[in-house]
A and B are shown apart, each in its own frame.
Chain A
């Protein structure tokens, strides 16, 4: 056929065509994480809303809450509730307030068994009354997580499950799975294990540094063993 060549590039711009090598950008509502580097790599440009996100910190205190801080602050300031289900310790209100989170929007649910934790998380998601649900389930099975994922799909809240890094090799119905390790200068190394779209090979370094450490690193002698441990962790994750 004669005439102008078919605009192939225009065809690819159609929103209903998904290319395997790109992220699905349409139709995935998301809550911006507050870290532009991370948002650029997440489908929809942020934490997936109405879906499970698994956060696998290498150890407690690595920065798992600093990572969520900006998103939680934005949600709470829009008047949305944050449900914390079975956290390992008491979330300390002064630090949350300093991170910009409206404490009045916070509710802490304490449970006595893993089954209750899953039940409470499911209730919080099904009710669609929360802006975000954070849960610390222990030893959840695939079928139980699938239930939670379905409960989350009915609503608009991102659901964060904090789990042990040992389960990184297990299958999971979560829409997003990220592992956290430490990077130099107190930063946070985020490794995206699973996302909707093409897998991400490299890990992201986020400047999620607590104020206490900011600008002080250059003045403090570092212990030589510490960065090595972090490297080992990342290498282990890549193999997992």
Chain B
């Protein structure tokens, strides 16, 4: 139901009637409440899907989890409303206007369209939004007039009795004698209005965000292009980052799942060097991964899952501008490079207490703790594997005869792991003045090998 960038108009039906439709359908004359057959006559290419209450609840929970970043007081108004207690948050977000701007932008980025309204009581705010009025009322005095103008449809009592007796607005309903209304229509109706006006208390259960994040978007058509997948993934990422902001947390790993029709889902795990909740950075990493992905089958649904939410410590900014950018940039760089080149392509070096030259260094994570060891004369470049070089007249040759400058340094070690070596190392000078590190094998058939270059 999220506003998809599909060319066709789109509608949701319930019991053969149009329940809701998008702007493209509205432009062709489709209206809520219309029979599906009539809607199809107006817009032959209309895509009609049955209403899915489970998906609606899922969506409402998703929006609530995202909205919890703006206020701890989030309540659900089933099936289509989310209430936020914002009076305590206004100062933090710099007033109502900036807060609304952020709400609007975030909802649009997640692909939702919403009507925002505000009032001193939660029910009044919800009714204003239901009636499509983008109004923000901050005094009880104005509330009564604003509510009086609302249509009775916002009460959702559903059977049309009020309209049948000629009552169209809440103001007209309140003008009727209370006893009569209570007897004919039930006390509950009057209580609802009293709660909206703040005459009765209206306690709410606040929404508690779940410990893990899980969200899904069903794609309107089967998708193979990475661009379209990224479009959907970004909506989920915005939702994830709002969820994380609400918990003052970050994630170090999240998994994008691409569901296919027949095959098992393709999982794209995105790992980070340090926890983060940066929308743009997450999108960038997802882009690199999705664009390098070879899909076996089109994708029907995209899911985003993040299990371990870790607290994300805020960073204090210095009073003066500090030299150099923040270390966070470094982590972003490593993640970006890894997203495109692969995790193994970006590595640090770790020194080990070893005698065998090829075992001294192992490839590790960048930033690994280092031993402080003292070796003899060692070259800057080490060949991936020693290269056999010729021996002519007892002199080793590599592009001409080599002149031995230093050595031998005997290295004999490693009998315990089956990879033992016995070598005499020399520093040698080539004809072109380059210095190389060579050794003479002391076992088997012997011979000379080139192992490093002093650069």
- List A residues at the B interface (Cβ < 8 Å): 57-66, 80-81, 87-99, 102-104, 106-112, 116, 119-120, 123-124, 127-130, 156, 182, 186, 210-213, 216, 220, 222-223, 225-226, 229-230
C-alpha gap A226/B327 in the complex (Å): 48
B341 at the interface (CB under 8 A from A): yes
C-alpha gap A109/B384 in the complex (Å): 15
Chain A residues whose C-beta falls within 8 Å of the C-beta of B455 in the assembled complex? 57, 60-66
Cβ-neighbour of A123 out of B333, B366, B406 (below 8 A): B333
C-alpha gap A112/B330 in the complex (Å): 22
C-alpha gap A104/B371 in the complex (Å): 10
B452 at the interface (CB under 8 A from A): yes
Chain B residues whose C-beta falls within 8 Å of the C-beta of A107 in the assembled complex? 334, 346-348, 366
Main secondary structure of the interface of A (DSSP, over half): mixed
Chain B residues whose C-beta falls within 8 Å of the C-beta of A223 in the assembled complex? 401, 403, 431
Is A128 a contact of B325 with CB atoms below 8 Å?
Answer: yes
Is A61 a contact of B434 with CB atoms below 8 Å?
Answer: yes
CB A209 to nearest CB in B, in angstroms, measures: 10
Is B351 a contact of A92 with CB atoms below 8 Å?
Answer: no
Is A210 a contact of B351 with CB atoms below 8 Å?
Answer: no
Is B427 a contact of A62 with CB atoms below 8 Å?
Answer: no
Cβ-neighbour of A124 out of B333, B344, B348, B454 (below 8 A): B333
CB B324 to nearest CB in A, in angstroms, measures: 7
Cβ-neighbour of B330 out of A59, A81, A222 (below 8 A): A81
Cβ-neighbour of A91 out of B325, B344, B345, B380 (below 8 A): B380
Is A90 a contact of B381 with CB atoms below 8 Å?
Answer: yes
Chain B residues whose C-beta falls within 8 Å of the C-beta of A102 in the assembled complex? 370
Residue of A nearest to B334 (CB): A107
CB A105 to nearest CB in B, in angstroms, measures: 8
Chain B residues whose C-beta falls within 8 Å of the C-beta of A97 in the assembled complex? 351, 370, 372-373, 375
Chain A residues whose C-beta falls within 8 Å of the C-beta of B348 in the assembled complex? 103-104, 106-108
Given known A-B contacts A212-B406, A213-B405, A92 and B452 have beta carbons under 8 A apart: yes
Most chain-B CB neighbours within 10 Å: which of A94, A112, A225? A94
Is A92 a contact of B341 with CB atoms below 8 Å?
Answer: no
B271 at the interface (CB under 8 A from A): no
Binary A-proximity of B411-455 (CB < 8 A = 1, otherwise 0):
000000000000000010111111110000000000000001111
Is A104 a contact of B369 with CB atoms below 8 Å?
Answer: yes
C-alpha gap A123/B346 in the complex (Å): 13
Is B347 a contact of A108 with CB atoms below 8 Å?
Answer: yes
Chain B residues whose C-beta falls within 8 Å of the C-beta of A81 in the assembled complex? 330, 366
Given known A-B contacts A108-B349, A210-B454, A216-B406, A92 and B324 have beta carbons under 8 A apart: no
Is A89 a contact of B375 with CB atoms below 8 Å?
Answer: no
Binary A-proximity of B157-192 (CB < 8 A = 1, otherwise 0):
000000000000000000000000000000000000
Is A92 a contact of B427 with CB atoms below 8 Å?
Answer: no
Is B454 a contact of A90 with CB atoms below 8 Å?
Answer: no
Is A109 a contact of B341 with CB atoms below 8 Å?
Answer: yes
Chain A residues whose C-beta falls within 8 Å of the C-beta of B431 in the assembled complex? 223, 225-226, 229
CB B435 to nearest CB in A, in angstroms, measures: 6
B391 at the interface (CB under 8 A from A): no
Cβ-neighbour of B382 out of A80, A90, A103, A124 (below 8 A): A90
C-alpha gap A210/B377 in the complex (Å): 9
CB A117 to nearest CB in B, in angstroms, measures: 10
Is A212 a contact of B333 with CB atoms below 8 Å?
Answer: no
Chain B residues whose C-beta falls within 8 Å of the C-beta of A96 in the assembled complex? 349, 380
Is A89 a contact of B349 with CB atoms below 8 Å?
Answer: no
B332 at the interface (CB under 8 A from A): yes
In B337-353, the 8 Å CB interface with A consists of 337, 340-341, 344-351
Given known A-B contacts A65-B455, A127-B330, A92 and B381 have beta carbons under 8 A apart: yes
